Amino acid sequence: MSLQVRLSLLPSVRCLYDEPVQVKVAGLRSQQLVTMRGRLTDDKGVMFSSSATYMADRSGKIELDRDPSLGGSYVGVEPMGLFWSMKPDTLHTKLTKTNLLNPQTVTLSVHDKDDDRMLAEVTNERFLIGDGVKRVPIKEGNIRGVLFMPPGGGPFPAVLDLSSSRSENRACLLANKGFVVLSITLYQNNFAKVKEMHLDYFEEAIDFLKHSKVGSKRIGVISRSIGGAIALSIAAFVPGVEAVVCINGCNANVAFPLYYKKHLILSPLSFEFKMLFPTESGAVIATHVLDNPLAEENNDTLIPIEQAKGHFLFVASEDDLTWDSKAYIDQMVERLKRHAKDNFESVSYPGAGHLLQPPYEPHCRSCASYITTKPVMWGGEARAHAAAEVHLWKKIQEFFRTHLSCETAQ
């Protein structure tokens, strides 16, 4: 390792999980070619890595927010490219980060282009849970989840975060931004054992949130995919929901009959597994796996979102290979306009795939899914997908702050 070459991260080697860092190199020869590498190991022991070629300027410096990558995992000026372009050493793998208390460590290094000698190295510690944020497991009534509370006495805007499998990352990161967030999973049991869904469970969670240092009796809901459809149904049928973020959701109830107060309110739109398209990698493309929600025989599956009193943020990825998210969002917008409603915003992202996450995680194109025994292609071109995640994460926070504002929030 060279004593002259310096690799630095600004403003600090420690940051929150969703924050960018400035990557700078100094002490190189004028116009020296180097390879920069990123690597991490997730909570399941899977290694992710990336690399890019850079040329130093005349003063021997490289700044990733100024200088373009000349080749490797990405090209062009990408300040966080070494992070989002990392790929796993195991096929069909998504990064797993389940331990919120330990940071995700990302090691960055600079190597001589000619002999691959390491010239400098630095470790970035990326924390999910911010200073003063409390994580409280909840077992109250039927609710099984985790509550995240920002530091201070509140009151705070409150959000119900629904996930298909146990994942607290998004909820925790929202709590860092000043929201009380209750994270619960959609399915109490294994997906294959679920026979029906009940909105009463989510209503109980919303009622719980109303008494958790919040500044309003109006609650936000966020979810993706099948959970997005559940979030829409909550807004349509359950009182007290003011803001819903539906990410790559469907405009119809999906997979299971939906009940509320012991009455069937929506039949399920069925999966047509014969429409799964195999790829050479072994993963399947599921874009057309759902029946057409606008077909006459599926009228009883459509979610009556025009009944909702609150506001919607519809989000669609245009390279979603799981189902036709853009078409579903367009149909929802058309439905609301037909009912003379203007309580919505919509945003779509060309080149983005189904799994829109908080920013700077390695992009996942395919991994296992609870829907089918085969791994699923989620879609997305890494660079466009990463840019979409940065934009959407800010958009989500602005949307919730606008519609869940607390006059006395800290």
The confidence score (pLDDT) of residue 39 equals 98
- 116 & 247 share domain: no
- pLDDT tens across 108-155, in order? 999 999 999 999 999 999 999 999 999 999 999 999 999 999 998 878
- In degrees and rounded to multiples of 5, residue 385 shows phi and psi of -65, -45
pLDDT category at 408 given cuts 50, 70, 90 is very low
pLDDT at 339 over 60: yes
pLDDT at 405 over 90: no
Q: How many CB atoms lie within 10 A of CB 55?
A: 16
- pLDDT tens across 236-251, in order? 999 999 999 999 999 9
Kindly provide the residue ranges of all beta strands, DSSP E only, lying in 30-179, ordered along the sequence.
Answer: 33-41, 47-55, 62-63, 71-72, 87-88, 104-112, 118-127, 134-140, 143-149, 158-163
**Domain end residue (candidates: 85, 110, 127):** 127
The percentage of residues in the chain with a pLDDT greater than 70, rounded to a whole number, is 95
The confidence score (pLDDT) of residue 305 equals 98
Per DSSP, the three-state class of 110 is: strand
The confidence score (pLDDT) of residue 409 equals 41
- 162 & 50 share domain: no
C-alpha triplet 57, 111, 105: angle, nearest 5°: 105
pLDDT at 3 over 90: no
The confidence score (pLDDT) of residue 215 equals 61
pLDDT mean across residues, the chain: 93
- pLDDT tens across 193-208, in order? 788 999 999 999 999 9
Tell me, letter by letter, the H, E, C secondary structure of 327-363: HHHHHHHHHHHHCCCCCEEEEEECCCCCCCCCCCCCC
Query: How many domains does the structure of the chain reveal?
Result: 2
- pLDDT tens across 231-287, in order? 999 999 999 999 999 999 999 999 899 999 999 999 999 888 888 999 999 999 998
Query: Token match 């993963």: residue?
Result: 283
Whether 409 is in a domain gets the answer: no
- 221 & 334 share domain: yes
| Sequential DSSP letters for 137-181 | EEEETTEEEEEEE-SSS--B-EEEEEESSS--HHHHHHHHTT-EE
- 276 & 298 share domain: yes
Tokens of 217: 């009796």
Cα 379 to Cα 393: distance, rounded to the nearest angstrom: 19
- 299 & 272 share domain: yes
Catalytic residues: 225, 320, 354
- 89 & 108 share domain: yes
The confidence score (pLDDT) of residue 22 equals 98
- 42 & 112 share domain: yes
Kindly provide the residue ranges of all beta strands, DSSP E only, lying in 281-403, ordered along the sequence.
Answer: 284-285, 311-317, 344-349, 366-367, 376-377
Greatest mean pLDDT among 183-197, 308-322, 357-371 lies in 308-322
- 288 & 181 share domain: yes
Query: Token match 């990733």: residue?
Result: 64
Whether 290 is in a domain gets the answer: yes
Domain that residue 118 falls in: 6-127
Average pLDDT over residues 173-181: 96
